[in-house]
Homo-oligomer: A and B are copies of this chain.
Amino acid sequence: MTALIVIPAVISVLALTSAFLFNRAVVRKAQGTDRMKKLQGYIRSGAFTFMLEEARVMAIAMVVIGILLWVLFYWEVAVAFWLGSLLSMSAGFIGMNTATHANARTTEGARKSFKEALAVAFTGGSVMGLSVAGLAVAGLVIVFLIFHHLFDPASLHIQTRYLFGIKSAGVNLIKGALVVSAYSMGASLVALFDRVGGGIYTKAADTAADLVGKVEMHIPEDDPRNPATIADNVGDNVGDVGGLGADLLESFIGAIISVIVMVLYLYVGRNNASLQGLIAKLGFSAGLDAATYWWLLLAPLVIVAGGTFASWLSILYVRVSGTAENVEGILMRGTRIAAILTAVTTFLFCWFSPLSLSIFYEVILGLIGGIAIGFFSEYYTSTTYKPTRQLSKSNQDGPGISVAEGLALGMLSTFLPVIVIAGATIGAYQFGGLLGVAFTAMGMLSFVAMTVSVDTYGPIADNAGGIATMSELPPEVRERTDKLDAIGNTTAAIGKGFAIGSAAFATLGLIASYMWSAIGSASQVVAPQLPIVGQIAASVSPTGSPIQVGAYVLAGLVVGAMVPYVFSALLIRGVSHTAGLLVEEIRRQFKESPKIMTGEQEADFNRCISITAHGGLHKMLLPAAIAVITPFVIGLIFGRYALGGFLVGGLLSAIQLAIFCGNSGGAMDNAKKFIEEGHFGGKGSEAHESSVVGDTVGDPLKDTVGPSLDILIKLMSVIALVFASLFPVYPIFM
């Protein structure tokens, strides 16, 4: 049944070819006036400069960690890690390349018609969407092909590995599981740099441009006289295109590999009595053998290939149907179509395979859960609904009250998504235990190609608007791009909610894999029967005192719940610090060259870009180090149980904090836009001034903290998964 691999292989080629052709289609479009070309050139080179500098920093981390993996484990692990990180970097570059091609061409399209603009922007977005899904699937196919011997059921067994031999009892390590985990870790690490570095960059530029431009100099947004205006547009690309793409690519891979890891452990432990119930639920009442094993192992790849194909069809649908009348409706319908088609392909696969329908139900839960969580984000942050309208109104009571109300809105908005996450967890468990949770996570992400396409279209439209203003094109052009942008804001809100929800589920899947591989070994039982939390602690320590393990789990939980707060604090400070440097630079330029304000002299855009880039890269180091080193240290010193608690604590805290930050910031931003549309006194009113303060507070929360938390929890979990076998079972001083 290894022939099943053909399906994901073919579909990844289809996705990547389409991405290439769509990119060609975008590049062939006219670029517009000289001024537009020049601006596009600035943005492109600024974005690439940042990406390349960031890649240099990443390359060092990649080499060090790869060598570490080679020394500690096997060369295959290092290769898989490098493959994952290179693919993730490529996805970022491809997306950025298209987005910075598409921005001015969207503006040029808007000079003709709304429909033309939409076509360019969405085509640009779909290049990113298809690349993310295509690269992730292709990479996994490559891993399977070059390391096929590691997945052969005949060769699957537990290997033992010690680190300094310290109290590290017999550890179970399945080489194939380690290789796919390392692949995922590579993607995670790149995503962390992209999200954190890009997040600090984009918000520092945005905040500084607004502070000096709008507040001090009273010039409008995207005014070409503002020296930080190009940096701001670069930020949209590095944060919202590169960062978001890497984030979802990582969730996608993490969700897939957590299923694969669990299947490997399930096969090795297939004769364990406690696993018979689960094996029967999967459709193999007669037991798991070499043939049925292949169906199960390749199921995640086939299902996500189906999702990618479904997304490809939906992208075509949107491209064909795009009209000025109901763009938002068509995008929403496209997403729904992708979800429904994914359900259909999954059903067909489960029906024609020996697998039971339980996997289909789990995927359905994921699809519905993902869409629901996305909708809740929209509900809380869009001015179509009551919460943000009320927040907008509260701006009349001054900035203090309105910021407090914005924070309250974000806190309140944790309720519905968490209920969905809890409900989906219970449902997935009923269908298939921890493996069911992993399949649900995968289901949520299976149509990621469509989600990323829709999400990437937003920043392209945003950039197009900026170029329109800076090129001093007629107002109807800006009106068209504004309309595109407004829809982009809605889809971005949905996308952010979806990213959090899917990250939470992907992390659950990763933690579940960690439990199976790390804690199972503690009692020398592969894939033990105990449920997730019980598993952490339900074992007796070598000194015979179970009480002590419990203490470490508890301490791990509390410390884990703290890390997202410290991480977030460092990001907020990174943004304000970098923005502070940029503010000084902008003020300096205006002061030293008064001709900038009169328009006689061009501002020094490059200096602003370079200051922001250095700030972003510098300030991402400490939070990145925390994400990478903390789980390693906890595992090494306090053992695997403590690390299990740490991961669960981190997940619990990060889910709430990410939803809170994302929705607070989104609502404060949109409350400001609502006032700018003329409500509560409109631009220049006291309410507007309050809302600008709210936006300054909310921006880093929404675009830096919230999205980076998604990565933090995934990265910490995948690091735990990769290094689990090296960590002692109990604290080294116990």
User: What distance in Å separates the Cβ of A434 from its nearest Cβ neighbour in chain B?
Assistant: 7
Q: Mark interface residues in A259-291 (1 if CB within 8 Å of B CB, else 0).
A: 000000000000000000110000000000000
For the complex, what is the distance from the CA of A693 to the CA of B406, rounded to whole Å? 14
Q: Is the interface of A mostly helix, strand, loop or mixed?
A: helix
User: For the complex, is A409 an interface residue (Cβ under 8 Å from B)?
Assistant: yes
Interface locus among A78-86, A317-325, A392-400, A479-487: A392-400
* Shortest Cβ distance from A541 into B: residue: B531
Once the chains are docked, how many angstroms separate the CA of A211 from the CA of B538? 56
Is there an interface contact between A546 and B533, defined as CB atoms closer than 8 Å? no
21 contacts between A and B (CB under 8 A): A215-B398, A277-B545, A397-B583, A403-B403, A404-B697, A404-B701, A408-B572, A414-B565, A415-B566, A426-B552, A426-B555, A428-B551, A508-B554, A531-B550, A532-B554, A534-B549, A538-B538, A565-B656, A652-B652, A653-B656, A693-B693
A434→B530 contact, CB < 8 A = no
Residue A562 at the chain B interface, CB threshold 8 Å? yes
Cβ distance A573 to chain B, nearest Cβ, rounded Å: 5
How far, in whole Å, are A262 and B341 apart by their CA atoms in the complex? 56
Interface residues as binary, A391-431 with B (CB distance below 8 Å gives 1, 0 otherwise): 00010011111011101111110110011011101101110
Say yes or no: B422 contacts A559, CB within 8 Å: yes
Chain B contacts for A535, CB-based, 8 A = 537, 550
Complex-state Cα separation, A649 to B648, whole angstroms: 10
- Whether the Cβ atoms of B399 and A559 lie closer than 8 Å is no
Q: Say whether A473 faces chain B, with CB atoms less than 8 Å apart.
A: no
Kindly list chain B residues whose C-beta atoms are within 8 Å of the C-beta of A530. 537-538, 546, 550
Is B538's CB under 8 angstroms from A553's CB?
no
With A414-B562, A422-B555, A697-B403 as contacts: A408 and B550 at CB distance below 8 Å: no
Q: Which single residue of chain B is at the shortest CB-CB distance from A529?
A: B546
Contact bitstring A502-513, B, C-beta under 8 A = 1, else 0: 000000100000
- Cβ-based interface call for A547 (8 A): yes
Which of A529-588 touch B at CB < 8 Å? 529-539, 544-559, 561-562, 565-566, 568-570, 572-573, 575-576, 579-580, 583
Q: Please tell me if A186 contacts chain B, counting CB pairs below 8 Å.
A: no
Question: Are B653 and A551 interface neighbours, CB within 8 A?
Answer: no
Residue A662 lies at the interface, judged by CB distance under 8 Å to chain B: no
CB distance from A398 to the nearest CB of B (A): 7
**CB-based contact B573/A557 at 8 Å:** no
With A425-B554, A547-B433 already in contact, the answer to whether A565 and B531 are too (CB < 8 A) is no
In contact, A537 and B547 (Cβ under 8 angstroms): no
A400's contact among B405, B532, B565, B692, by CB below 8 Å, is which? B692
Q: How far is the CA of A19 from the CA of B547 in the complex (A)?
A: 42
